Structure 1
Amino acid sequence: MSAKGVAIATNVAIPTTGGWQVWQDVVIPNVTLTAGAQVIRVTIGATDYINLNYMTFASAVTTPAPTVVSPVTYCQGATATALTATGTALKWYTVATGGTASATAPVPSTVTAGSTTYYVSQTLNNVESNRAAINVVVNALPTATITASGATTFCQGAGNVTLQANTGTGLTYQWWRNQTTTIGTGTASLAIYNSSGSYTVEITDANGCKAISNAIAVTVNTPPAAPTVVSPVSYTIGQAATPLTATGTALKWYTVETGGTASTTVPTPSTAAIGSTTYYVSQTVNACESPRATITVTVTELIQSIQLQAGWNMIGCPLEGTTNMQQALSSIWLQVETVKDQDAFWDIKNVPALNSLSTVTWGKGYLVKVKANCTLDWIVR
């Protein structure tokens, strides 16, 4: 076979077709023709019965496939964009061969995790290229769950709770309070002591996919202030006492400043002995107990005052038992001249040996002579 007098193929084998009008194609590849009109001459060798029906020509020019980036990755549920390729007159397919071409670039679905392959060709000089493959990978979102280590409602300063997220290789963590404030140190657990709120964690996996966990509401109640009290509370010895009082909610009474056993019964102080006793009381609001307020109860001596006139005065002794006379009359002792009862007497002018009265006894009456008007204070213990 020659073109323009130049051999372009030699020794082309012609097969036996097995019968007249039984046709068979003979392909001569890699024939190069120059541009312009061609005169093709076919020379048949030493053979008979050759029938040449027609010749067709196919261009040997190839069009390169378009340039693509593959794979294209998304996280499940992310917003995808149309695929891209660099080329001319792009045609998009869902299969590697055959199928129906589309001039519109597809937008991958990210609803379900998995991979999908798309194909694209370009056309130059009416010759369509081979198809380039674009693999779209949709990565599943990581699991994101949190649990609480204990009660999620507690009193500030008296409790706490730790939130624990699921763990796994390549996971990173960002904790949120009320979906607005980032907290924590990027670990899988978060200890909460002071702040109420709705807590979640955002977990990111090695593919960069993120998931938000379930929310756990934590309530941190602020302890109330100590109840309002009046202190000190004062009594004289033997005086009838009333139950202590405090203004507050769900009062608890204690005999010690910290610890101890609480009582809801209001204590009534004892006035049997002189001295001071301290009581403590707290209030409870929203299950939070307040600091304890202090009530000091003081029991003092009972002083009975009697007005005496200059000269003789009749008095009765209210002091329990027998008391030294000078001690009992200490408040007027500088005014006393004479003291006597039915059996004995004391006179300031006498030498001690002549005075037969040196004590006073409860319930007995005494005549007391004083120099001037004065006030006798009986100190009852």
Structure 2
Amino acid sequence: MPYHLPSTSSLKHIRQRLLTSLFLLIQLACASRLSAQTLDTEPLSVTAICPGAQLDVTGFRTTAADGYAIQLSDGGATYTEIPSVFVSASGRYEIVYRATIPVGTPAGTNYRIRVVSKNPDINGSPSPTILTVKAAPAAPTAINSYSYCQQTAALSLSATGTGLKWYDASGKTFATAPTPSTDIPGTVSYFVTQTTDNCESARAEIKVTTKSTPGAPGTVALSVCQNSPTQSLSATGQNLRWYTTETGGTGITTSPTYSTSQTGQTSYYVSQSLEGCEGPRALLAVVVKPIPSAPAVTPKTICQFASAEAVTAIGEGLTWYNTDGNKFGAAPTITTDKGGAFSLLVTQTVNGCESPKSTLVVTISTTPVPTVSKATVELCQGTTAQPLEATGTNLKWTDPSGNVTTTAPTPPTLTVSSNPNGDVYYVTQTANGCESAKVAITVFVQALPAMSITGSTTANLGLEVPLKLTFTGIGPYRYKLSTGLTGTAIKDTTILVLPEKTTVYQVTEVSNKCGTGLPNNGSSATVTVLVPTIQTLALTSTTLCAGASLTTRFSTSGVFNSGSVFKLQLARIETDTTKVSYVDVPNSLATDGQVTGTIPTNTTGGTYRVRVVATNPKIPVNGSVSSTLLTVRPLAAATLTGNQTIYEGQPASLSVVFSGDAPWNFAYRDSTGTGLGTVQSLTATTNPYAFAVNPRKTTSYFLTSVSNVCGAGTLTARVVTVTVNPLLGIEDQLLTEAVEVYPVPAITSLTVRINGLSATQTALLEITDMTGYTTTRQETRQATSSVSLDQYPAGTYILNIRVGDRKASKRIVKL
């Protein structure tokens, strides 16, 4: 707000007086002024001014210049240019500018103002007027923003201050505080100042925002059935509020839940709010429709096997269910193939509401089937048939052509049944108006059978060949072929034969229940068998030992079946050829036309025939016998005999019985209580072979080996014992010499004899192993005792004998 200056007339008067008073002075100084470029600032019209106020500043110049400005200084030391605008110029020398004191100018009492020129650059003299700049008042206190909903009443604006003055955004002033309009959404700014000491403050801005009112929320009217599940209402919008009246009332923010217990319409209203502004209310009508009554149904009874029909009920929009609650897509159709009773459920739907369920009971009445004595009747062609038989009420018969009669039909037998499954007749009975299920009676009119055989072919020996048997007439059939093969069949079939040579198969007999027929035109099938052969060639060796390897070459002709294996066989020559028996040679291996096997070690010596055979799966192929006879020499075997008792000093005779070819080499050794003897080797050419031994005391002898030209043989009964009895008592001899232990080595038991032991003396027998561990301890008062060794493992042991204070030890060996 500009500061109020003196009136124009007063200024002119003052100026005139000053000009008059100074006229002479000006005239006097004129010459000096014209001679120098000067710019003087004239006295100001005011001495005090508010920040932001305007005042006119007059300058007097002595030369032409332009680009004038007004400068302000607090104290006159430093000047700062302030805003100004040109007002007027008088002649060549006087200019007037209207300057504005900047709003932020600090208050002070020593401000100076001067006019300056920029072209030329001349700093004018300051005005002689000392200017006071008053302090600017603060902007009034006011709430800086208001917010209203559209079309609501607004309050007049207010502020705290002195000499308030109101403006709108365009600068228009109001006589009093304005009242904002809320008709149009948006934000409008208002301004207010206060004035103290004739100084107007800066403007305070107040923003008034008018918020848009939202539209009514979206709703959809509800139509529900009575007693249906209740749900909360819903609408489309924000910050919903629900009412029970169109206007007024208090709304709730929780969606109400409608009740379906009573029929009729209930109105609800809902509004939405945006930024705190609530919009108009929308109607949401809930209509509860009545439940229709259950549809009317009538129990239904129908006969089994009657035509299927759909169930019915009286009502609108019927829906059918089974007793489990599963819905049918349409009215179900009653099938009558099975008897019994069942229930169906049905509802009606009126105006979208489904009724309670009605129960429809459906009964399928059944009639038992008639009793048939024979379900299958077999007749022979040309015989006299009897009427078919059944037991029941109101029988009804249907023949294979579909003809229906109440009289039991008699099947014709002039022609054979053309249907391989027989001719089918049906019979039913009717009771209580319901016909039973059909019972089938199958009639077969059979002719005498005929049979043909086909399948002639060529096949390798050992391969099964299929032959096809074709019958006429009705089965089952019994047949016999020229090879003696018999069998049964119920229809055409294929059999497998395994001929060992080329064979012609002919039908010799065929029969069925009607009797024996004939082959079809004497049909036959010929299977030509291709038999491979094996020729066993001459042997390279005529004499071999048992256990030796035998190699034989052979040749073949023809084709052998897959999986066939070649091997050797031996047969001992017998006078009675019926007793000849070939046995396989183990480990036979065939390669490149020869087969090698090992003659069993237990083969009896003698002359043998040799042949090569092929396993040829299912039917082996026996090769020819080699022209070479094989002599097999058996392995040697030896048996030692000669258990005996002698007196001390007598010789003993032992005997060895051999098998196999002479000469025989054998070895033996003895064993006594003191240990094993040296191995003795002998050669024998006689069988049995006897040799003498001279034991000094009881001694065991055992064979250690036997061999002949075929190598090492086997030993049987290899151990004998020669018991030596003393001639005189030996009570006074040393205990070691008085003790005899045999057999050594021992197998199951050990005999200990203490010569001279009296009945009053006790002998202690102990056996220890080689580590000194005592394994057996026993006492005896007998001169001869037996010690069992069954529980001992094979090895060497020490026998300790103690009689009183005498001791003796013997080494024994357990085999």
Q: TM-score, normalised by structure 1?
A: 0.46
Bigger radius of gyration: 2
Q: TM-score, normalised by structure 2?
A: 0.24
Q: Considering Cα pairs closer than 8 Å and 6+ residues apart, tell me whether 1 or 2 has the greater RCO.
A: 1
Q: Which has the higher strand share?
A: 2
